[in-house]
Structure formats: structure tokens, C-alpha cells
């Protein structure tokens, strides 16, 4: 880099991470009267949660990962726990507690796996939290989340920006190679096969690179080629086909 | 000048409180850190000489307001438009947050997620923290490390809350007769 800033071992230049950070900053610096919620969506494995963790770390944000069994009460309790507060008894009080703490600390609230909120009709609680704290609230979910959110017009209208997670491109791939396989060179052919097998999924790229790192460490190699890889399968995330048995 | 461990702890605590506020008066610092106002003003003058804090709109006879301009390592502090300090993440806090969110992880994963532009986390730092937490029973080793081949994979088994567990060196007394170890409360080695 010309500006002398080391980009090694940091996820910041990754496309999705950069998009997520831009979304957060946009919400934080929004003009008066503009809504302050955001939505980050995309298929699983694209690095949404990684971007969220990185974003939470860099902004000291409050990040919760929803579980399918959560109720309104549990959501509020978890957010409060994350903020280091003792939850009140009833949901109404908890919402006030959360709003006060978020507004005081002035940190964004990030909710991962927000599909659960939509499916279980819990989005109104999030809207209440946003309305009473006015801090940026970012919902992260699967590809179809924007369509699912359409049903809740009052929430839908408060979303300033919809950001889609993109599949990893060549630049992202090289960056991940730099992070996960430091000091190891990968043969272009192997790289191409790996990128194709990973199909743009950051998770699979990292899994494949981890295997390459292991191969290099085991055989003491500085350069891993297709021949070293041998007949090992690439992580593709594909499920095996159904087997057929002859009766 | 040499300081006793307790003095060092008090001074660091007071500095942390000053950083948390961004802008402070002697009285506020004294109340936050639980120290005497005179001590608060003496400490502030020391920091001023070091260039860590600056006076804000100083008017003779009025209350002195100070602003944190540099962190303890001498780096420029990041301030908001209104003068309050932007809290930088702390390496331990970033690592702990990543551990609580990733289902299974290696030290490299933690370093990758926790190393942000404001907070530097190296892989060695993450390795050390993982090892200590594993020894303390916070992490379970899912896949054992094979030296020179594969690094260990961990899972968080004691998610005690949002604040990161800290690694401390403590002063203790060991009784050689029965091997009992008594930690001296509030003392750091």
C-alpha cells in the first residue's frame, strides 16, 4: 500500500465488511429527520455475520444473534445482558432500559439472524427500541428478508438503506489468502479451482484455505500446487446426492 | 519516581475515568476515581506536562476544565465534534466479543475478527488469550493443536457476560507447610 497502512490480517477491505461499515457510518451521520434503521441481507455463508462481528468490534456496538426460540422478552433480556444491565421484570420497562442505555452510550444496535424476528412477529419491539433511542439499528438476515419486512409498513418505512451482501470476488479471495495463508504461495491453477468450488462463499474460501495451510505446514511447503492438493475434495457446501440401492 | 503497585493501579484507574469522560474538571475526576481533589489536580498537572491533556477555554478564577488529547501511549485521541472522546475498543474486549459470537474458532479467527482499525490485535496476542482462557476453564479445546501442522480449535463454554475476563498477575502468599495459596486482595504484583 502506498499510504503505508498495513492491510494484512484485517478484514476491513473485504467487500462485505466495507459495505457494512459504510452502512453503519451512513446511519450514524444521517441528516435530521431521516430514518435510522438499516438492513443487511444476503444468502448464508457470504460473510454477513463476520462483517457484523467486525463492525461491532470496530464501533463497540451492541450485537445480538437471535435464536429461533426467542420471544420478545428473551430478546430484550439478551440486549440488556449485552449492555451489562440487569433486566427489569416486564418488557415495557426493559424497552425503556435498553433505549436509555443505547442513547446514553450512543452505540448502534446490530441484530443478527433477524429473520427470527420477522417470522415470530417480533419486529415491533425493535421499532419501539429504535423510536425511543434513535440510535442506528441494523437488521441482518437472509436473502428474502426485505420482502418479508414489507408486511410491516411502519418498520419498513424507517429503513434508510438496504445493503445486499455480495459474493466474494477475486480481490476478496486474495485478501483472505493474505490473512489465512500468510507466507504461503498458492499456484494460480489451485487458486482458480478453489475460488470456483467456493462459489463466492467467504466461509468455504476460509475452509479451503485452512486446508491449504495445513498441507503446507505438514509438508513444509512455501508453495502449494494442485499436485500437493492431490485428490482431496474442495469444500463446496454441496450436500451429497441421494443414494440408490438395488433391491 | 517509583510507585507502589497500589499507586499505579489508582493512577491507571483515574486515567481511565478521565478518558471515559473526555472532558473533565478536578472535582469530577476526584468523584469518578474516588481520589482526593488535590490528588486529582496534581495528577492532571502531571498529565498536562506529558501532553496528554489540555486546558479548555481557560479563564482565570473559573473552574478548570481539561480535555484528553492523547492516550497513554502518546497517540492522538479521537474526539467527537462536541469534544467528548470516541471510545476505542480494547483488544481483550474485541477478542472476547468475537469468542462469544463465533461458535467454534481458532486463534487466527479471533485475531481476524478482533483486529480493527482502532485496535490492533495480533495472532500471537489472540493465541495467548485463548490459552489463558482455556486454562481458566472458559474455553474448551475442540481440536487439539498439532505443533507445526494445525492450530487448536476452541469453543466457549463459560459465557459469563459482555465484559472480557482479564488476565492479572496477583500478589499471593504461599504457605510451604500445606501449599495453601492466599491471594492478597486488591494487590497487583
Digit-coded pLDDT (tens) for A100-144: 989 888 889 999 999 999 888 789 999 999 999 999 999 999 999
At B2 the pLDDT is 67
Higher local confidence (pLDDT), B83 or A97: A97
Q: Which CATH class is domain A170-229?
A: mainly alpha
Find the CB nearest B117 among A53, A58, A83. Answer: A58
Specify the domain boundaries for CATH 3.40.50.300 within chain A.
Answer: 15-164
Q: How far is CA A9 from the centre of its chain?
A: 18
- Looking at the structure, give the CATH architecture of the domain made up of residues A15-164: 3-Layer(aba) Sandwich (3.40)
Pairwise CA distance, residues A241 & A237, whole Å = 12
Greatest CA separation for chain A: 71
Interface with chain A: mutation pick from B80, B88, B115, B163, highest number of A CBs within 10 Å: B115
Pairwise CA distance, residues B21 & B30, whole Å = 12
Residues of A in contact with B118 (CB under 8 A): 58
Q: Is A95 helix (H, G, I), strand (E, B) or coil?
A: helix
Q: Is the pLDDT of residue A3 over 50?
A: no
At B127, list the grid cell. Answer: 493465541
* A198: β partners: none
Q: Is the pLDDT of residue B113 over 80?
A: yes
Residues of A in contact with B148 (CB under 8 A): 217
| Percent of chain A whose predicted confidence (pLDDT) is above 90 | 41
Model ipTM over 0.95: no
Which residues neighbour A16 within 8 Å (Cβ) at sequence distance 6 or greater?
A42, A46, A47, A48, A50, A51, A165, A166, A172, A202
Neighbours of A88 (CB within 10 A): 16
Specify the domain boundaries for CATH 1.10.8 within chain A.
Answer: 170-229
For residue B106, the chain A residue with the least C-alpha distance is: A210
Pairwise CA distance, residues A132 & A115, whole Å = 22
Q: pTM here?
A: 0.74
Per-residue pLDDT of B82-108, as tens digits, reads 444 455 567 888 999 999 999 899 998
DSSP secondary structure code for residue B85 in this structure: B
pLDDT category of residue A32 using cuts at 50, 70 and 90: confident
Pairwise CA distance, residues A184 & A174, whole Å = 12
Q: Do A53 and B101 touch (CB under 8 A)?
A: yes
Amino acid at each position: 500500500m502506498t499510504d503505508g497502512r498495513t492491510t494484512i490480517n484485517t478484514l476491513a477491505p473485504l467487500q462485505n465488511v466495507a459495505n457494512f461499515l459504510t452502512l453503519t457510518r451512513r446511519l450514524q451521520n444521517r441528516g435530521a429527520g431521516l430514518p435510522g434503521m438499516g438492513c443487511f441481507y444476503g444468502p448464508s455463508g457470504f460473510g454477513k455475520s463476520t462483517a457484523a462481528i467486525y463492525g461491532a468490534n470496530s464501533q463497540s456496538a451492541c450485537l445480538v444473534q437471535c435464536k429461533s426460540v426467542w420471544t420478545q422478552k428473551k430478546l430484550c433480556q439478551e440486549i440488556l445482558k449485552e449492555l451489562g444491565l440487569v433486566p427489569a421484570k416486564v418488557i415495557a420497562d426493559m424497552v425503556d432500559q435498553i433505549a436509555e442505555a443505547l442513547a446514553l452510550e450512543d452505540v448502534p444496535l446490530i441484530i443478527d439472524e433477524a429473520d427470527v424476528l420477522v417470522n415470530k412477529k417480533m419486529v415491533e419491539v425493535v421499532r419501539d427500541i429504535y423510536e425511543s433511542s434513535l440510535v442506528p439499528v441494523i437488521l441482518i438476515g437472509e436473502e428474502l428478508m426485505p420482502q418479508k419486512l414489507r408486511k410491516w409498513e411502519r418498520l419498513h418505512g424507517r429503513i434508510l438503506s438496504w445493503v445486499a451482501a455480495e459474493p466474494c470476488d477475486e480481490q476478496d479471495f486474495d485478501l483472505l489468502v493474505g490473512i489465512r495463508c500468510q507466507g504461503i504461495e498458492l499456484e494460480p491453477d489451485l487458486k482458480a479451482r478453489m475460488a470456483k468450488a467456493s462459489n463466492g462463499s467467504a466461509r468455504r474460501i476460509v475452509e479451503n484455505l485452512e486446508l491449504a495451510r495445513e498441507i503446507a505446514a505438514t509438508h513444509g511447503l512455501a508453495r502449494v500446487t494442485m499436485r500437493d492438493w492431490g485428490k482431496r475434495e474442495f469444500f463446496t457446501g454441496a450436500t451429497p446426492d441421494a443414494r440408490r440401492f438395488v433391491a | 519516581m517509583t510507585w507502589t503497585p497500589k499507586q499505579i493501579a489508582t493512577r491507571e484507574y483515574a486515567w481511565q475515568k478521565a478518558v471515559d469522560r473526555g472532558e473533565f474538571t478536578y472535582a469530577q475526576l476526584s468523584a469518578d476515581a474516588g481520589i482526593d481533589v488535590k490528588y486529582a489536580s496534581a495528577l492532571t498537572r502531571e498529565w498536562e506536562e506529558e501532553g496528554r491533556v489540555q486546558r479548555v477555554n481557560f479563564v482565570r478564577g473559573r473552574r478548570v476544565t481539561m480535555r484528553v488529547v492523547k492516550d497513554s501511549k502518546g497517540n492522538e485521541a479521537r474526539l467527537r465534534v462536541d469534544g467528548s472522546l470516541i471510545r476505542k475498543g480494547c483488544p481483550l474486549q474485541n477478542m472476547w466479543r468475537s469468542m462469544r459470537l463465533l461458535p467454534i474458532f481458532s486463534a487466527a479467527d479471533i485475531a481476524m475478527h478482533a483486529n480493527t482499525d482502532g485496535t490492533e490485535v495480533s495472532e500471537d496476542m489472540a493465541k495467548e488469550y485463548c490459552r489463558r482462557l482455556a486454562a481458566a476453564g472458559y474455553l474448551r479445546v475442540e481440536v487439539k493443536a498439532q505443533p507445526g501442522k494445525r492450530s487448536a480449535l476452541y469453543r466457549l463454554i463459560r459465557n459469563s457476560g459482555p465484559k472480557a475476563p482479564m488476565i492479572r498477575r496477583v500478589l499471593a502468599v504461599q504457605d510451604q507447610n500445606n501449599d495453601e495459596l492466599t491471594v492478597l486482595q486488591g494487590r497487583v504484583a
